[in-house]
């Protein structure tokens, strides 16, 4: 089991991340809450990882802190929630916002996340309520690769692609990004603003 990786960031193309660890490029998937905390391409970074092994694939998921990873693991233990849905939850809601949803029994907020229907939202609220407390360490405070070193030529299109990869419908992703006032922002900032618009959360 790989607990963490430390290396140089080669590619940041949400939700995909490539980390060069002593000459070996590790391809990871990460929620947007992780991307917000990562340094720029070419800079060193340390990420905590969770590996999912299946018959047809082995995937590594990256997080910038242990609480983030702990919440991801807790979500995976909920029936009907897989890695993709867990990533979407952690991308659309901060840990604090998710905790508030659970404590306030707010299923409506959860259903704004792609892949979360009413039944799954209710199941999350019931199962996570017993697992999270205000001091819970686990919960509180593929798109094509681009050539290494390149800069996104179209941040808006990259943001739309990232939202689609997270499970949002193409029309909804396009509408959310194109409705943003600052078209000159970076792709990560556009994704952050679009997710805030879609989910109604504050970041």
Average pLDDT, integer, range 8-19: 94
> 149: alpha, beta or left, given left = phi > 0 and alpha = psi -120 to 50?
left
pLDDT of residue 50: 95
Question: What residue ranges do the domains of the chain occupy?
Answer: 4-63, 66-129, 155-199
Q: Where are the alpha helices (DSSP H) in 20-149?
A: 32-35, 66-76, 83-92, 95-103, 107-110, 118-129
pLDDT of residue 201: 57
Per-residue tokens: 131: 């697992």
pLDDT-derived band at 183 (thresholds 50, 70, 90) equals low
pLDDT-derived band at 153 (thresholds 50, 70, 90) equals low
pLDDT digits (tens, 9 = 90+) for 26-61: 999 999 989 999 999 999 999 999 999 888 888 999
Q: Are the C-beta atoms of residues 63 and 49 closer than 8 Å to each other?
A: yes
Average pLDDT, integer, range 17-30: 96
Give the chain's length: 203
Quick check: 24 pLDDT over 90? yes
pLDDT of residue 59: 93
Quick check: 152 pLDDT over 50? no
Per-residue tokens: 140: 């509180």
pLDDT digits (tens, 9 = 90+) for 51-110: 998 888 889 999 998 888 989 998 998 888 899 999 999 998 877 788 888 888 889 988
pLDDT digits (tens, 9 = 90+) for 112-151: 888 888 988 998 998 887 666 444 444 343 223 333 333 3
Q: Are the C-beta atoms of residues 156 and 190 closer than 8 Å to each other?
A: yes
What CATH code would you report for 155-199?
1.10.8.10
What CATH code would you report for 4-63?
2.40.50.140
pLDDT of residue 171: 76
Residue 102 CA to residue 113 CA, distance in Å, equals 14
CATH class held by domain 66-129: mainly alpha
Residue 128 CA to residue 172 CA, distance in Å, equals 28
If you average pLDDT over every residue of the chain, what do you get?
Answer: 82
């Amino acid at each position: 089991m790989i607990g963490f990786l430390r290396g140089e960031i080669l590619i940041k193309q949400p939700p995909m991340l490539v980390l060069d660890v002593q000459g070996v490029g590790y391809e990871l998937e990460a929620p947007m809450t992780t991307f917000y905390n990562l340094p720029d391409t070419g800079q060193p970074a340390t990420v905590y990882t969770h590996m999912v092994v299946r018959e047809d694939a082995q995937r590594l998921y990256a997080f910038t802190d242990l609480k983030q990873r702990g919440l991801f693991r807790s979500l995976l233990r909920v029936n009907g929630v897989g890695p993709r849905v867990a990533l979407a939850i952690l991308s659309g809601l901060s840990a604090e916002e998710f905790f508030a949803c659970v404590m306030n029994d707010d299923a409506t907020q959860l259903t704004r996340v792609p892949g979360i229907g009413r039944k799954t939202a209710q199941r999350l609220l019931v199962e996570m309520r017993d697992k999270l407390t205000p001091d819970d360490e686990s919960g509180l405070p593929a798109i094509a690769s681009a050539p290494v070193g390149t800069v996104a030529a179209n941040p808006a299109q990259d943001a739309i692609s990232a939202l689609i990869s997270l499970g949002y419908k193409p029309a909804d992703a396009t509408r959310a990004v194109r409705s943003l006032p600052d078209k000159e922002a970076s792709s990560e900032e556009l994704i952050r603003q679009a997710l805030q618009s879609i989910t109604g959360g504050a970041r």
